[in-house]
Structures are given as C-alpha cells and as structure tokens.
Amino acid sequence: MSNREKLLEGALELFATRGYDAVGVQEIADHGGVQKPTLYHYFGSKTGLLQTLLAENLAPFLDEVEKAATYDHNVLMSLRITTATYFNFASDHASLYRLFLGLWFAPPTSEPFQMVAMYNQRQQEILETLFYQGSLDHGNMKDRQRAYAATFLGMINTYIALGLNGHVQLDQLLVQNAVHQFMHGIFS
C-alpha cells in the first residue's frame, strides 16, 4: 500500500470514529506511519486530505446512485433499486458513510460541511429528478419532488444509521419494507 493510500485509509478511520475536527495532522501522519511532510506533499493540508477522500469515494458512489435512480415507469422498482444501492454502499463502506452522515450534520459554516455540501446537493438533485419523472406518470406526485426526495433520503439515512449502529440489517427485506412504507405515504 502506498503512503498516499495509507494516509487516506488512516484518515478515514480516524475521521469516522472521532470526527474531523478532533483529529490533527500529526495523528494522521503517525497513524499512516509517515511524517507530516508526506501528508502535505500528497494533499497540501488536512482539508485537502478530506477533499480528496470525499472526491475519490463519494463522486463514484453518487454516479452509482444516479444510475440506480433511473426511472423506468415503475416507481416501486426504481425506489427499491435506489435504496439497495445506498444500503449496499453503506454496508461495504461503513466508515465512509458514517463520516458522510457526520459531515452532513456539521455546523453549516464549518469547512467540513462546506466540503460535503456539493455531494449532499447532488443526492437531492438525483432523487428530485427521479420523483419528477415519476410524477409524469402519477399525477398525485406532481410538484412534490423536492419533499419526496428529502423524505426518501431521510428515511434511507435513518435506516443506514440504524444499520451502522447494529440495530437493523441493511438487507433486501429491509429494502422492500422501507420502500413499501414510503410508497404508502406518496400514494395516499
């Protein structure tokens, strides 16, 4: 494993378990078995390290979400595929998703929040597009795509948080049950 990879992996572990603000550059370097100048060489700063970590992991994940959220005239199937994509990613990348959730709820003026904001916005836009496309087939959904996207993502992230904390299994049964519950709300 390269020094760069060690730094990214170590930073992810430290940020996910203790929070971005609680971790210093020296601790990240020590954890990666390198000197601070090595971190600065690759990333420029702790901020640059976090930006790289997010860009290299969240951008590809959101590309997957965008593919999953393709509407094919079946709201139920589109929501199941999208939910499964989230659950699978969170299960496979638990530390990253925990960090992502934590940064989402950081103070809005903080650097970490600002860094994750574009990924949060992209998620919202992807899901709004899905619900807008669904509304073309289902008139009762018209002009509700923003609320549906926010509520749907909130439900997904709540289940993921429960899963990351060992309270539920992020499996296909939960995908079906969660989407079923959500569908009752949008079609009522």
Residue 76 has a pLDDT of: 96
CATH code, domain carrying 104: 1.10.357.10
pLDDT at 185: 73
CA pair distance 32, 38, nearest whole angstrom = 10
CA atoms 108, 110, 116, 118: torsion sign: positive
Task: Tell me the pLDDT tens digit for each residue of 88-139.
Answer: 999 999 999 999 999 999 999 999 999 999 999 999 999 999 999 999 999 8
**Within a domain: residue 73?**
yes
28 part of a folded domain:
no
In a domain, 104, yes or no: yes
Q: Please name the residue that has the structure tokens 């609320």.
A: 147
Rounded to whole angstroms, the Cα distance separating 69 from 82 reads 5
Is 111 inside any structural domain? yes
Q: What are phi and psi of 16, to 5 degrees?
A: -70, -30
Question: How many Cα atoms sit within 13 Å of 163 on the Cβ side?
Answer: 26
Q: What is the largest CA-CA distance in the chain?
A: 60
Q: Which of 130, 64, 73, 138 is nearest to 97 (CA)?
A: 64
Residues 54-100 pLDDT 10s: 999 999 999 999 999 999 999 999 999 999 999 999 999 999 999 99
Q: How far is CA 104 from CA 46, 78, 99, in A?
A: 18, 25, 9
CA atoms within a 13 Å half-sphere pointing along the CA-CB vector of 31: 19
The reply to whether 46 falls in a domain is: no
DSSP state of 142: T
Q: Considering its fold, how many domains does the chain have in total?
A: 1
36 occurs within a structural domain: no
Residue 95: per-residue pLDDT: 98
Residue 22 domain flag = no
Is residue 119 in some structural domain?
Answer: yes
Q: Which domain holds residue 80?
A: 54-186
